[in-house]
Amino acid sequence: MLVIKKAEYIGSFVEMKQLPPGLLPEVALMGRSNVGKSSLINKTVNRKKLAKSSSTPGKTQTINYYLLNEALYLVDLPGYGYAKVSKTQRRQWQKMIERYIKERQQLKGVILLLDIRHEPGESDILMKDWLNQLGIPLLAIATKADKISRGARSKHTSIIRKKLELPDDPLCFSAETGEGVGDVLTALEEILAL
């Protein structure tokens, strides 16, 4: 399991040409607005406010870079779904995300976050299918696991697995309790080892 000794915010970018140079591996976080990307980053690196989380959906409007152990970037992409923004703005984000996913050579994998309480929506299914078509390794994580009882979890993760046609149930994660942090760190270590 990866041990995070150092985590730092590098910057927020709106264009590909602004992204950090160099060949360090990158893992992108994707998911609907308000699925808990910032909370996952903060809990995983054990820092309360490294990534700014908000109760307002659609707050992340840039590609945000976090450097872990000076060896790996966690990249927080804008959430998709119900962000209250104009269609023009949404199209700009879409283009930016598409270019990043298709063109960024350093991208080694994507962590797709899904709220355990809800069935995956059309946008989640499209995102998963698109990543599969591009051959990008994908790890599905069900966030907000503390919001449902332990007994109900397997039912919820099974629904997500079937709906997204995943080989396995998604990992469960809770930013409240820290459940799943070890799994995320193990996954990041495996990506680093590739």
In a domain? residue 2: no
In a domain? residue 1: no
In a domain? residue 159: yes
Q: pLDDT at residue 30 above 90?
A: yes
Q: Would you state the pLDDT for residue 156?
A: 97
The owner of tokens 């919820």 is: 156
In a domain? residue 146: yes
Q: Would you state the pLDDT for residue 154?
A: 94
Dist. CA 60–CA 146, nearest whole Å: 24
Q: Are 185 and 44 in contact (CB under 8 A)?
A: yes
In a domain? residue 142: yes
Output phi, psi for 157, to 5 deg.
-70, -30
pLDDT in tens, 45-88: 999 889 986 555 555 578 999 999 999 999 999 887 655 667 77
Q: What are the helix (H) ranges across 56-121?
A: 87-103
Q: Would you state the pLDDT for residue 192?
A: 79
If phi > 0 it is left, if psi is from -120 to 50 it is alpha, else beta; for residue 165 that is left
**Domain CATH number, residue 92:** 3.40.50.300
Is pTM beyond 0.75? Reply is yes
Task: Quote the mean pLDDT of the chain.
Answer: 90
Token pair for residue 52?
């700014």
Q: Would you state the pLDDT for residue 56?
A: 53
The structural domain count of the chain equals 1
Q: Span 147-176, mean pLDDT? A: 96
Q: pLDDT at residue 185 above 70?
A: yes
Q: Would you state the pLDDT for residue 11?
A: 95
Q: Tell me if residue 96 falls in helix, strand or coil.
A: helix
- Domain extent at residue 82: 7-193
